Chains A and B, each alone.
Chain A
């Protein structure tokens, strides 16, 4: 069965600093991979997704993620964090044609001003 691991429960960074959120997955086939952000009172918002092709994926809000098959990883990065990026971030793998999502446990990002 598929699974997603986000090893960091909480991360605190200073505004303007770079960010990397880790995600490792377990899935027997080529995965569909996603990063979502969840802010209080709002639905999960898709930041980016990977299905095939270029392993470096650009998303919204200046985020990018790199698919590394050899490491079963799909880490999310941002070169300069803004205070508004404080939220919970979820990595997910899609199976069953890509639509059935299995989520990681999330990483809570705090941004210090």
Chain B
């Protein structure tokens, strides 16, 4: 199957700093990528939909100025957590859609564990 990578897999940062997480589709082009957040023992919550060459669409309640998403190419989307605080500590997961139809498959990255001190 298709492969999606994330970098870094684990990051620790100080409160007030910014952290960038990369999501790459390694063997296919993805017009659309998605960013999720997963709290311990909880489900994945969709944060935003990232479309190549256009602005991301954020879900209700997600601060777009705090979670900056850039989808600059068909294989790369980045999530920047700006001015991170301890409450932003979480597991961030991206997925890439192989195709454009609702019946196409999303491939998920392994996730990035963010810890803000």
- Interface residues in chain A, defined as those with a beta carbon under 8 Å from any beta carbon in chain B: 4, 32, 36, 41-46, 49, 51, 90, 94, 96-106
Contact = CB atoms under 8 A, between A and B. Distances in A.
Interface of B: 1, 4, 32, 34, 42-46, 49, 93, 95, 97, 101-111
CB-CB nearest 10 A-B residue pairs: A98-B102, A43-B108, A97-B102, A44-B108, A103-B43, A105-B43, A103-B44, A43-B110, A43-B109, A51-B103
A16 B89 CA distance: 39
B43 A106 contact: yes
A32 B103 contact: yes
Chain B interface main SS type: strand
B43 A43 contact: no
Contacts of B101: 97-98
Contacts of A32: 102-103
A97 to B, nearest CB: 4
B62 to A, nearest CB: 13
Given A90-B44, A99-B32, A104-B43, A43 B111 contact: yes
A100 B49 contact: yes
